[in-house]
Every structure is written in structure tokens, then in C-alpha cells.
């Protein structure tokens, strides 16, 4: 079984930055696709970023491309999401997700992932 725990959320002004972390336990995440999703108040869950495995390309939603950066540290079994130039529309609960052996065409679809964290709140407001 895999457990995912996110942290790093908080309150930030527009234009600010945050770094989210997702620590995995139970299995090595080396061969797992890892992703970040978010859910804003009153909206459906939205894909943010995903990476199938170390060395593979990372995919981003158009709304965050150029502002958010995904990274992973296999030694620490941790993935990160650097959030820069934050906007009020980025306000949401951010979730980490994992799936072993995910095919490329499925990385943007939350229903394909087996494991989820509890989420961390990001609030962007002046």
C-alpha cells in the first residue's frame, strides 16, 4: 500500500510563491507516475502536472505552464511542485496522486490514479 502526504500549502499574495511537497511511503515511487491535481471551490478536480518517471518529460496544464515546476527526488521518495507567479485563480486544494505503470495518454486523468494524498490548501489573495 502507498501513502501520500502533501504539505507546503498556505496563504500568499498574488505574484508570490509556494513549494508543495508530497512524501510517499510504502513503496518506492521510482517507477510510479506522479501527478498533481487541484480542486477549487465549486469546481471539478483539475489536472496540474504529471511525470511518468524520472527522466521522462513532465506535462503541465496550460493554465500553469511557465509558472509551476514539477520535480521529484527518488532518494527521498518525494515529489515537489514549485508554484511561482501565483494568481487568485490558483486558489485550490492541491492533491498528489500516484499510479504504477501509467501509460502516457492517461497521465492527465485523475481517475487513472490509484493513490491520493489528503490535499494541501493554497490560497492566493491580496
Whole-number pLDDT of residue 103? 83
Query: How far is 68 from 27, CA to CA, in rounded Å?
Result: 26
> What's phi and psi for 98, nearest 5 deg?
-140, 150
What average pLDDT is seen over the chain?
95
Model confidence band, residue 93 (pLDDT cutoffs 50, 70, 90): very high
**pLDDT classification of 56: cutoffs 50, 70, 90:** confident
- Residue 104 pLDDT > 90: no
Q: Quote the pLDDT of residue 37.
A: 98
Q: Which pLDDT band holds residue 1 (cuts at 50, 70, 90)?
A: confident
Which pairs count as long-range contacts for 25-29, CB under 8 Å and 24+ apart, including other chains? Answer: 25/77, 26/1, 26/2, 27/1, 27/2, 27/100, 28/74, 28/77, 29/2, 29/72, 29/74, 29/77, 29/79, 29/98
**CA nearest neighbour of 72 among 32, 122, 25:** 32
> Which of 88, 105, 107 is CA-nearest to residue 97?
107
Which of 61-65, 68-72, 107-111 is least confident? 107-111
Q: How far apart are CA 64 and CA 126, in angstroms?
A: 20
Mean pLDDT calculated for residue range 58-65:
96
Tens digit of pLDDT for each residue in 5-46?
Answer: 999 999 999 999 999 999 999 989 988 999 999 999 999 999
pLDDT at position 73 over 90: yes
CB 37, CB 45: distance < 8 Å: yes
Q: How far is Cα 22 from Cα 74, in angstroms, rounded to an integer?
A: 12
State the Cα–Cα distance between residues 123 and 120, nearest whole angstrom: 10
Amino acid at each position: 500500500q502507498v501513502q501520500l502526504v502533501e504539505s507546503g500549502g498556505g496563504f500568499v499574495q498574488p505574484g508570490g510563491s509556494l513549494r508543495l511537497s508530497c512524501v510517499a511511503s510504502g513503496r518506492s515511487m521510482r517507477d510510479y507516475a506522479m501527478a498533481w491535481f487541484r480542486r477549487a471551490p465549486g469546481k471539478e478536480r483539475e489536472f496540474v502536472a504529471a511525470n511518468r518517471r524520472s527522466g521522462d518529460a513532465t506535462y503541465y496544464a496550460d493554465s500553469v505552464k511557465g509558472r509551476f515546476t514539477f520535480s521529484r527526488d527518488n532518494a527521498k521518495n518525494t515529489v515537489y511542485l514549485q508554484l511561482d507567479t501565483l494568481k487568485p485563480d490558483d486558489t485550490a486544494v492541491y492533491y498528489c496522486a500516484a499510479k504504477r505503470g501509467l501509460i502516457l495518454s492517461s497521465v492527465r486523468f485523475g481517475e487513472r490514479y490509484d493513490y491520493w494524498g489528503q490535499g494541501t490548501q493554497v490560497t492566493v489573495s491580496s
